[in-house]
Amino acid sequence: MNFSDLDLEDCILDALDSMNFRECTPVQEHTIPILLEGKDLIGVAQTGTGKTAAYLLPVLNQLSRGTYKEDAINCVIMAPTRELAQQIDQQIEGFSYFMPVSSVAIYGGNDGIRYEQEKRGLALGADIIIATPGRLISHLNLGNVDLSEVSFFILDEADRMLDMGFYDDIMQIVNRLPKERQTIMFSATMPNKIQQLAQTILHDSVEVKLAVSKPAEKIIQTAYICYERQKLGIIQSLFATTKPERVIIFASSKLKVKDVTRALQRMKLNVGEMHSDLDQKQRDHIMHEFKNGRIDILVATDIVARGIDIDDIRLVINYDVPHDCEDYVHRIGRTARANHDGCAITFVSEKEQTNFKAIEDFLEKDIYKLPLPSELGEAPEYKPITGHGGRKGAHGRRRNDKAPKKGCVEEKPAGKKNGNSRRGHSSRKRKQQSSQKQS
């Protein structure tokens, strides 16, 4: 389905044209028509499927019609992290380019000047506010914001917010909202706590659930079966003769991130760290240095796996095996973006083998196991515990493993793009056959 097939205003279609958005992603195709009808919705879809546009476009479409108060806050979007709040705000700028809609992003960890800018934006009645829960609660408690006219309430990455302990904050905000509103929730997973939250704050909602998509085929996935103590040695071996460039290393906790960062610094590697203990100024500085190539390796918690767009990551290393398949997909999805090739390597210790086998089962493939560098000694046997209580597998290459070509990154011809000229209003409904680049 093309965006021109939807009941969207011309100003929205103009913005989509200028951004080279043509075809809907599956989540957009299934959710936008429902949201345009004004229904509450819970969508289960992972990051990278176009869900931000899926909820922004219907809301902006309604606001563009000019039937909402100009000096009131009409929409509240909740996000778990500052990075995601900033990214949503940037997308609003693009989608609303041809319409007079104002937005302000509200998040903690910044200085007094930023706080005053937020306060001023709230006082003027920004059409849309994008906020982290704690920061919005702060403004509410100080009387800086009036939510009595809100018509749209959106929770993005709701599962992540609940994991971070924001349930009480969310309910405090919900209690300040009008009863008559459209409520939209998006979540990567659907645990019981999300279902309970949906039952509490949604009314006669529609559920749209898309299966977690597999990683891009051009991501070359490999793994090392190793002991925990060998993981740093693998990194040292990887970069002994090749300078690292645009590398993200994911670790399971901020304490592990700090430990790994210090160890890599002792190896004289150019490394930075990203975790929740850093304030906003520090995080912005680290991301700026990494994006501009002044930091080669970024060691991070999963905060970077969601809500950060960097298109030319060369290598993703899972220092720890993610706890679930969705997180694995999110992590390695940082590479091989925007027609770039990329590689993902996972370090699998003895205790992590069962989780890694679950990821392989989800992907329906055996990830190629790289041999350990000889100087690191023997590796443990790959014998994950299966769901039937038995063990299977053997160390080394498994029968269905395929070795990646030419080391880590496999060269492939670049895909071709089809271009379309800009459409006039009279030809809005013509179907477009070109591809769309989604955020």
The phi and psi torsions of 233 (rounded to 5 degrees) equal: -65, -35
Every domain of the chain with CATH number 3.40.50.300 lies at: 3-212+420-427, 219-376
Identify whether the C-beta of residue 249 lies closer than 8 Å to the C-beta of residue 298: yes
DSSP letter at 302? G
Nearest to 146 by CA among 129, 170, 167: 129
Q: Tell me what the mean pLDDT of segment 186-195 comes to.
A: 85
State yes or no: pLDDT of 353 exceeds 60: yes
Beta strand segments in 79-162, E: 103-106, 128-131, 152-155
Identify whether the C-beta of residue 139 lies closer than 8 Å to the C-beta of residue 122: yes
State yes or no: pLDDT of 431 exceeds 70: no
State yes or no: pLDDT of 159 exceeds 80: yes
3-class state of residue 340 by DSSP: coil
What's the confidence (pLDDT) of residue 435?
A: 40
What's the confidence (pLDDT) of residue 407?
A: 42
CA 8 vs CA 19, 36, 43: distances in Å? 16, 9, 20
Instruction: Tell me the DSSP string of 38-77.
Output: T--EEEE--TTSSHHHHHHHHHHHHHTTT-S-TTS--EEE
3-class state of residue 426 by DSSP: helix
> Is 219-376 CATH 1.10.443.10?
no
How many Å apart are CA 423 and CA 439, to the nearest integer?
Answer: 22
Average pLDDT, the chain: 83
What's the confidence (pLDDT) of residue 223?
A: 97
How many Å apart are CA 168 and CA 23, to the nearest integer?
Answer: 38
Element (H, E) at 364: none
Q: Which amino acid is at 193?
A: K
Q: Tell me what the mean pLDDT of segment 351-367 comes to.
A: 92
Q: Tell me what the mean pLDDT of segment 52-59 comes to.
A: 95
Q: Tell me what the mean pLDDT of segment 91-117 comes to.
A: 86
State yes or no: pLDDT of 340 exceeds 70: no
**For residue 96, what are the β-bridge partners?**
none
Q: Tell me what the mean pLDDT of segment 118-129 comes to.
A: 87
One CATH from 3.10.150.10, 1.10.579.10, 3.40.50.300, 3.10.129.10 for 3-212+420-427: 3.40.50.300
| Least reliable range by pLDDT among 5-9, 76-80, 109-113, 181-185 | 109-113
3-class state of residue 84 by DSSP: helix
Q: Put residue 377 in one of left, alpha, beta given phi > 0 → left and psi -120 to 50 → alpha.
A: left
Q: Put residue 125 in one of left, alpha, beta given phi > 0 → left and psi -120 to 50 → alpha.
A: left
Identify whether the C-beta of residue 6 lies closer than 8 Å to the C-beta of residue 32: yes
Q: Estimate to the nearest angstrom the gap between the alpha carbon of 408 and the chain centroid.
A: 24
3 state SS for 229-276: HHHHHHHHHHCCCCCCCCEEEECCCHHHHHHHHHHHHHCCCCEEEECC
